[in-house]
Amino acid sequence: MSERKLAFLYSPEIEGLSYPPDCPFKTQRAGLTGQRLKSFGLLGTDGRIEVAPRKASLAELKKFHADRYLQELQRVAGGDLTVEGFYMGLGGLETPVFKDLFDYGAWACGAGLVAADLLLSGQADIAFNLLGGFHHAMPERAAGFCYLNDVVLAGIKLAEAGKRVLCLDVDAHHGDGTQVAFYQRKDVTTISMHETGRTLFPWGGFENEIGEGPGRGYNVNIPLPPETYDEAFLTAFDSVVVPLVEFYRPDVIVLELGMDILAGDPLTHLRMTNNVVVEVLEQLLRFNRPMLVAGGGGYHVENTVRGWALAWRTCCGENDECDFGMGMGGVMLASSEWAGGLRDRALAVTTEQRHAVESELQTTLDHIARQIYQLHGIRLRTGQGAAAPGKAG
């Protein structure tokens, strides 16, 4: 068992806050994950504590958001949508106007800031803020269910404390708000793996967006083809993300762990199982850095809750052996649902799917190797097939 100190940001106080009932974004997911973890005895015990967040103050929100935008958010939450609000992205299908809009966002951002404080003070090694993950929110614009950007605010706070920060985003959607915040900075590196902007909102996040000025080479996008499956995803993660984490040597990692990467998500087109969540976390845990895990997307509620619970369990260092659905040699023999387990069973990959994903992904990884690796003089290790050794220069 690991000795890591884990903190789960949550308070029953936010349970009354919710998006409109017909909105795919469900605020209940964090609370449901907490309940699941408690039922497994993985939360509320020594070293795995629940910590109440607080609302972020206006002064804190202004570290990223414009004053007039914050004023407008509060106005529309009162039921008053203006033309100015409309031009700030408010009132669309994915940015509905509702009573709790400002409050929920402020709680999520406050939770991110408390999580950052817990890491900075050493009270936690890993802090989960599943209330947050609002990576599309821009300084003056709402988008994709996001109004206030907790990921950016936590990143800024950690950087202000003198830390080298890595914002790693594996949500199915490109972390565009986070990219914008840190595009010209090298003290905060952003890496986003996401379904390609050719087929999914926010329609950007391509591999040639690599940062500007001092931030050049410190913004990395890894667009994934639709239908990307576990093995392809992990090839990209192992061959590109892991060497980059080694190169950037962050003091602290902010991980956006959206569960809309999972097969069956109603809004996206990726085909991963939650087994990749375990692999990603195990790789990151090896770096032994404080880590803030933010929630994000995930529109199939049960899959999302299981994925996040699995992520927490992985951070606890309690893994496969207690999962009844897991067969020998890492092969899933049966659905984990009936066994009460958290892991998904493996999904079959068709030949067509493999061909379509492999060639496109290979091109992307080669491109990243040429640009980013070359810029930093990173040498490829032998056997890193995906990034095509020899082509990286």
Which C-beta is closer to Zn ion: that of 223 or that of 341? 223
For 210, phi and psi rounded to 5 degrees? -120, 15
CA atoms lying within 13 Å on the CB side of residue 151: 39
Which residues 10-39 are close enough to bind Zn ion by CB under 5 A? none
Concatenate the DSSP letters of all residues of 18-51 into one string.
Answer: ---TTSS--THHHHHHHHHHHHTT-SSBTTEEEE
Annotation marks residue 136 as catalytic: yes
Which of 73, 154, 158, 172 forms a contact with Zn ion (CB under 5 A)? 172
Which of 5, 173, 289, 343 forms a contact with Zn ion (CB under 5 A)? 173
Residue pair 345/332 in contact (Cβ under 8 Å)? The answer is yes
Which C-beta is closer to Zn ion: that of 215 or that of 295? 295
Minimal distance, residue 268 CB to Zn ion, in Å: 7
From 54-62, 145-153, 170-178, 317-325, give the range in contact with Zn ion by CB under 5 A.
170-178
From 70-78, 87-95, 172-180, 302-310, give the range in contact with Zn ion by CB under 5 A.
172-180
* Helix/strand/coil percentages in the chain, nearest 5: 40, 15, 45
Number of Cβ within 10 Å of residue 107's Cβ equals 25
From 166-174, 183-191, 202-210, 243-251, give the range in contact with Zn ion by CB under 5 A.
166-174
Measure the CA–CA gap between 117 and 120, rounded to whole angstroms: 5
Which C-beta is closer to Zn ion: that of 193 or that of 284? 193
Residue 132 makes contact with Zn ion by CB under 5 A: no
From 20-28, 164-172, 313-321, 362-370, give the range in contact with Zn ion by CB under 5 A.
164-172
From 55-63, 165-173, 175-183, 299-307, give the range in contact with Zn ion by CB under 5 A.
165-173
Map tokens 């469900």 to a residue: 26
Which of 150, 260, 265, 360 forms a contact with Zn ion (CB under 5 A)? 260
Minimal distance, residue 171 CB to Zn ion, in Å: 4
Q: Could you tell me the CA-to-CA distances from 277 to 233, 308, 354 in Å, in that order?
A: 11, 9, 21
Residue pair 91/85 in contact (Cβ under 8 Å)? The answer is yes
Which C-beta is closer to Zn ion: that of 300 or that of 313? 300
Which of 125, 150, 171, 265 forms a contact with Zn ion (CB under 5 A)? 171
# chain residues binding Zn ion, by CB under 5 A? 6
Which C-beta is closer to Zn ion: that of 155 or that of 297? 297
Q: Binding string, 219-258, against Zn ion, x = CB under 5 A?
A: ---------------------------------------x
Nearest CA among 138, 149, 145, 167 for reference residue 108: 149
Residue 341 makes contact with Zn ion by CB under 5 A: no
Nearest CA among 277, 340, 342, 308 for reference residue 31: 308
Which C-beta is closer to Zn ion: that of 227 or that of 260? 260
The DSSP element (H or E) to which 255 belongs, if any, is: strand 252-256
Minimal distance, residue 170 CB to Zn ion, in Å: 10
Find the radius of gyration of the CA atoms of the chain.
20
Measure the CA–CA gap between 315 and 255, rounded to whole angstroms: 13
Q: Could you tell me the CA-to-CA distances from 284 to 85, 86, 117, 318 in Å, in that order?
A: 40, 40, 20, 16
Residue 209 makes contact with Zn ion by CB under 5 A: no
Which residues 273-332 are close enough to bind Zn ion by CB under 5 A? 297
Residues 6+ away with beta carbon under 8 Å from 354? 229
Residue 72 makes contact with Zn ion by CB under 5 A: no
Catalytic residue among 136, 173, 174, 300: 136
Residue pair 107/55 in contact (Cβ under 8 Å)? The answer is yes
Residues that bind Zn ion (CB under 5 A): 171-173, 258, 260, 297
Q: Which residues are catalytic?
A: 136
